[in-house]
Amino acid sequence: MGTFFNPVKINIGELKVLKRVIEEMPQKVTKVLLLTRGGNFNNSPERAELRNCLQHYEMQQVDIEISNPTVDDLFSLFNQTKELDFDCIVGIGGGSVLDLSKSLVAIKGMQIENHQQLLTIIEKKYYKNNEQTIPWIGIPTTSGTGSELTCWATIWYEKLGIKLSIDNPSLYAYAAIFDHTLTTSLPVSITVSTTLDALCHATEAYWSNKSNDISRVYAKEAIKRIMQYLELLIQVPSNLEYRREIALASMFAGLAFSNTRTTACHSISYPLTMELGISHGVAASLTLAKVLAINYESIPEKQQLLEAFGHRSFNEIQQWIENVQERAGFATRLVQYKGTHESINRIVENAFTKGRMDNNPVPLTEEDVKNILISIYE
């Protein structure tokens, strides 16, 4: 039951298909803004391939070397690019680059004089009235965020330690290009963190209040691939077959939650990241099995979900997640991240993100969330 919609043109293959993708766009493109992850990217073969694909267009490049972009980061990028003339954005990088790509699309051409004005635009969603938006193309270099397939972006407001969302159907990418070879240079830690994020996307899409028959098919496919290939990829990070399967898993997870959004795990993860600095995918996965146990009786086709995990109990899933985290060098207990009982109280206060926590099939109370956090404290 339910409906499913995702307008992004998906291209699974080599980076060079970008040339054809732009040529086939219904609106003529002449000027491209390229947003990249920076660092050693400019000396990579991928940068040379992009230059070749975009050689017939006026191209300007901006490197973005940040994680978890804030309102200040977005304002800085807006000021950096507002005088540039471009009619398409190509974003290549992880979730931060892709989120900033679509955020820049949302506010392109608007009159924004200061950070506070931008904050108001985001909170009041004034960007939805912006008629100057342009198409963008997402090229992920990690396997997990799914930003290339959704119409929302996460922007953090550091002053209050909260997560904001820029969200509009017009922000779907025109196209996404999945080239798994772009992920081969990722260290194991980022590979695991982003893949665990995809695992949470898929699982939360499966049990979301907005879950439907199609999203559950995509979710199961993502979960099965992650459970089969992530441990193998940890052992042999250079294996292209494993990289491809994890990239496909991320794509399926992105399709699944693009129609359902996330739920309690992600809602709790936001203050875990802000308060304790825990990597986003790890933060979301820390509570996955715990929330699964709470939600289980309310999940449609729940036995199929356990079968996708290949485990018989919630404890087995928790142990698998912790094992994967440890093998990638992550701690599995909040006390190891210098968490305290006081910080847990603050996390609980900020764990109820609208549109996420209320999307969980079982309503959670502050006491429920605190009990979950205490169970992974030490």
Q: What is the DSSP letter of 364?
A: P
Look up residue 323 and give its two tokens: 């094992």
If phi > 0 it is left, if psi is from -120 to 50 it is alpha, else beta; for residue 90 that is beta
Which range is least confidently modeled, 151-160, 294-303, 324-333? 151-160
Residue 257 is predicted with a pLDDT of 98
State CA 34 to chain mean position distance.
Answer: 20
Look up residue 77 and give its two tokens: 């990028």
Residue 118 CA to residue 315 CA, distance in Å, equals: 44
Residue 158 is predicted with a pLDDT of 84
The phi, psi pair for 334, rounded to 5°, reads -65, -35
**Whole-prediction pTM:** 0.97
Whether the per-residue pLDDT at 34 is higher than 90: the answer is yes
* pLDDT tens, position by position, 211-255: 999 999 999 999 999 999 999 999 999 999 999 999 999 999 999
| 3-class SS of residue 333 | coil
What average pLDDT does range 121-149 have in this prediction? 97
* pLDDT tens, position by position, 351-373: 999 999 999 999 999 999 999 99
| 180 pLDDT tier (thresholds 50, 70, 90) | very high
Q: 305 and 206 in contact (C-beta within 8 Å)?
A: yes
Residue 159 is predicted with a pLDDT of 82
Q: CB under 8 Å to 31, separation ≥6 — which residues? A: 57, 58, 59, 60, 85, 86, 87, 88
Whether the per-residue pLDDT at 198 is higher than 90: the answer is yes
As a whole-number percent, the residues of the chain with pLDDT over 90 amount to: 96
Which range is least confidently modeled, 151-165, 216-230, 320-334? 151-165
Q: 195 and 246 in contact (C-beta within 8 Å)?
A: yes
Question: What domains appear along the chain, each with residue ranges and CATH number?
Answer: 9-181 (3.40.50.1970), 186-375 (1.20.1090.10)
Residue 1 is predicted with a pLDDT of 61
| 106 pLDDT tier (thresholds 50, 70, 90) | very high
Among 7, 119, 20, which Cα is nearest to 74's? Answer: 119
Q: What does each C-alpha distance from 238 to 30, 44, 45, 234 come to in angstroms?
A: 37, 17, 17, 9
Residue 97 is predicted with a pLDDT of 98
Q: 208 and 262 in contact (C-beta within 8 Å)?
A: yes
CB atoms within 10 A of CB 85: 10
Sheet-wide strand order for 88-93? 9-12, 175-178, 136-140, 88-93, 31-36, 58-63
As a whole-number percent, the residues of the chain with pLDDT over 70 amount to: 100
| 3-class SS of residue 175 | strand
**Helix 188-207 and helix 264-276, axial crossing angle in degrees, nearest 10:** 150
Residue that the structure tokens 């605190």 belong to? 370
Residue 171 CA to residue 41 CA, distance in Å, equals: 26
* pLDDT tens, position by position, 62-101: 999 999 999 999 999 999 999 999 999 999 999 999 999 9
| 3-class SS of residue 136 | strand
Whether the per-residue pLDDT at 161 is higher than 80: the answer is no
Residue 40 is predicted with a pLDDT of 86
How confident is the prediction for the chain on average, in pLDDT? Answer: 96
Residue 369 CA to residue 268 CA, distance in Å, equals: 8
What average pLDDT does range 161-183 have in this prediction? 95
Look up residue 313 and give its two tokens: 């109990």
| 3-class SS of residue 70 | strand
DSSP string, 9-64: EEEES-GGGHHHHHHT-SS---EEEEEE--GGGGGSHHHHHHHHHTTTSEEEEEE-
Residue 153 CA to residue 38 CA, distance in Å, equals: 20
